Structure 1
Amino acid sequence: MQYDVIVVGGSYSGMAAALQLLRARRKVLILDAGVRRNRFASHSHGFLTQDGINPAVIAQTARAQLLAYPTLTFKETQAISASGTLDAFEVTDKEGSVHKGRRVLFATGVADQLPEIEGLPELWGQHVFHCPYCHGYELDQGRIAVIATGPNSLHQGLMLPEWGPTTFFTNRAIDLDDQMRRDLAARNVTIEEAPILQLSGGLEIQLDDGRTLSFAGGFTAPRCAPSSRIAETLGCETEVTPFGEQIRTSAGKETTIAGAFACGDAAKVPHSVSLAVADGAWAGANIHRTLIF
């Protein structure tokens, strides 16, 4: 069977794109490995009508709604390579099946490259976050830690006082110049330069000088990269942003390969569920237009 569109990645942006195409009665195949970026979080915030809902429930509800459309095929598998050209793409999955489509959409999401701090992976998405709009309110104006990963972390340090008294941990990841220190001081941010040994609880930060400081929660700015390199197997170019690496796209979400598109966290910044859904819907509409005109 040849599909109109093969969507690689069945999370929020991929399903939002598929919905537009299904409502145009196009044949869509979604290949999904089932590894959502926000699988570590218990609640999703900032998404209108879904505020506070478990992100897994949002994904499950979306999938159930898509499956009501008869032109959808949803396969739980990992797509490993893509080849071909406009109107004649092929995507191979890990079982060796080859799927044919006129268009392909990469909605693979990203993987977070967390700073190497003991205890951080266990707290990620529960007590340490990357987006204050998604998780800052729930800290109830308690003490907030910002763990630096590089120059981009200064932006977090200046933002977070909106949500509570903030301590900025340089953690040997950033050298603050005089202007940076003045900017942080203007926001009443405490600067802590002792290196971090480990994180625990919800949230205790143990420093190498023996102190342990307690916070309502913390934020850090991990570097991101597409969670799959499949777009590159087709020849799609990537680009570097302050947040990491992403797939390069046009305003209409087309990659550098004609007929291949990308959306969601893998193809835009900044990142959130609501922004991913919007980006996916825009990609789906633009793909549909190329199938018509």
Structure 2
Amino acid sequence: MSGENAVAGQGQPTGSARSQENRRQRIAEYVVGHGTVTVSRLAETMGVSVMTVHRDLEALARRGVLRRFRGGVSALPTSVFESNLDYRLGVHVAEKEAVAREAAELVEPGMSVMLDDSTSVLALAALLRERTPLTVLTNARRVLEVFAGREEIRLIALGGEYSHTHDSFLGVPCVEAIEAMSVDLVLVSTSAMNGHMTFHQEQDVVLVKRAMLASGARTALLMDHSKVARTALHRLCPVADFDHVVVDDGVDGDLVAELGEHTDVRVAEVNG
């Protein structure tokens, strides 16, 4: 996999690739904040050439993050690109890797674990290959690829209707498959969280995640700092419903303390 879409265990991005992704993330955030921006303005703001901006915008448009027009670019609705897997794979990579390392400590050989289709959990999946034997259940195609062919892993696919946006399986068949299972630990992420509630912008995803959480003896939520102190359209569940919440050290200390009033909070050091 190229550095552009690298996640832990699937090809580490080089320094230049990481810098490129950071710039593209800044461009996306700048355009979302301003609505419509010219290419020349972006080049000046980012301190790079117009040609570099054109390449960045082409990549972001392919991911469904932005809409290009002659001489400029405009933002798609936040809910559209935040659901896009290609976009999510390229942002806050270091934070997701740190959270994944901390969350991996919750998993012991012999356990049954259920993993959702988030990029934070995809980063975790590669680390779990060293904690075998395991029974792994997932609705995420790329998580299935991480474990496929490993004799020490009992791998169960949670099927349903395939979503190209998420590269995973959703819908009623997926929920029904999940409801038939009972596992030791469920590990998920979601798009937003404040001090007492978690959220997601898509109802179909909420239904799958709720079913997953109900199937676990213990549950863990993996969140990088970009997802906290914010909300989304649909409520998922209260923070108190999770046995563990793992965040990176970019989360404000006051919010960490507030979360700690409801559940076990673990803070991952990004550069530790």
TM-score between the two structures when normalised by the length of structure 2: 0.28
Structure having greater relative contact order (Cα 8 Å, sep ≥ 6) = 1
More strand by share: 1
Q: Which has the larger radius of gyration?
A: 1
